[in-house]
Amino acid sequence: MRWKYTVGDILSQNQVIIDKLDLNGHQRKHLSQLSKCHTDACGGIRIDCKSCGHKHYIYHSCRNRHCPSCQGSKRDQWIARQQKYLLDVPYYHVVFTMPHLLNPLCLHAPKIMYNLLFASSWETLQVFAKDKKYLNAQTGMTSVLHTWSQNIGLHPHLHCIVPGGGVSPSGKWKYTRSKGKYLFPGKALKKVYKGIFLKKLKELNETGVIELPYDLKEKLYKVNWVVYAKRPFGKPQFVIEYLGRYTHKIAISNYRLLDTKGQSIVFKYKDYRDGANQKIMSLSTTEFIRRFAMHILPHKFVRIRHYGILSFVARKELIPKLQLKQNYKPIVQSNEKYQFELVCPKCKSDEIIITTFSYLKSRGP
Query: How many whole angstroms separate alpha carbon 239 and alpha carbon 93?
Result: 9
What does the pLDDT average to over 333-344? 63
| pLDDT recorded at residue 314 | 87
| pLDDT recorded at residue 1 | 53
| Digit-coded pLDDT (tens) for 78-113 | 887 888 888 888 889 999 999 999 999 999 999 999
| Digit-coded pLDDT (tens) for 274-329 | 888 999 999 999 999 999 999 999 999 999 999 999 999 888 889 999 999 989 88
**Residue 1 carries which side chain, given as an amino acid letter?**
M
Angle (CA) 357 363 365, round 5°: 115
For residue 18, give the nearest of 35, 40, 41 by alpha carbon.
Answer: 35
Tell me the CA distances in angstroms from 209 to 75, 95, 111, 166, 353, one per residue in order: 35, 26, 12, 35, 58
253 — pLDDT class (breaks 50, 70, 90) = very high
Task: Considering only residues 228 and 363, tell me which one the structure prediction assigns the higher pLDDT.
Answer: 228
pLDDT > 70: percent of the chain = 92
How many other C-beta atoms lie within 10 A of the C-beta of residue 212? 15
Q: Does pLDDT of 337 surpass 70? A: no
pTM of the model: 0.90
| Digit-coded pLDDT (tens) for 193-216 | 999 999 999 999 999 999 998 889
For residue 125, give the nearest of 229, 54, 21, 275 by alpha carbon.
Answer: 229
| pLDDT recorded at residue 336 | 52
| Digit-coded pLDDT (tens) for 109-129 | 999 999 999 999 999 999 999
If you ran DSSP here, which 8-state letter would residue 207 be given?
Answer: T
| pLDDT recorded at residue 245 | 76
Which regions of 149-287 does DSSP assign to beta strands (E)? 154-163, 165-167, 173-175, 227-229, 257-259, 264-271, 277-284
| Digit-coded pLDDT (tens) for 142-171 | 999 999 999 999 999 999 999 989 999 888
For residue 19, give the nearest of 37, 38, 11 by alpha carbon.
Answer: 11
233 — pLDDT class (breaks 50, 70, 90) = confident
273 — pLDDT class (breaks 50, 70, 90) = confident
Q: Does pLDDT of 359 surpass 80? A: no
For the chain, which residues make up each domain, given as ranges? 72-251+298-326
| SS3 readout for 257-317 | EEECCCCEEEEEEEEHHHCCEEEEEEEEHHHHHHHHHHCCCCCCCCCEEEEECCCHHHHCC
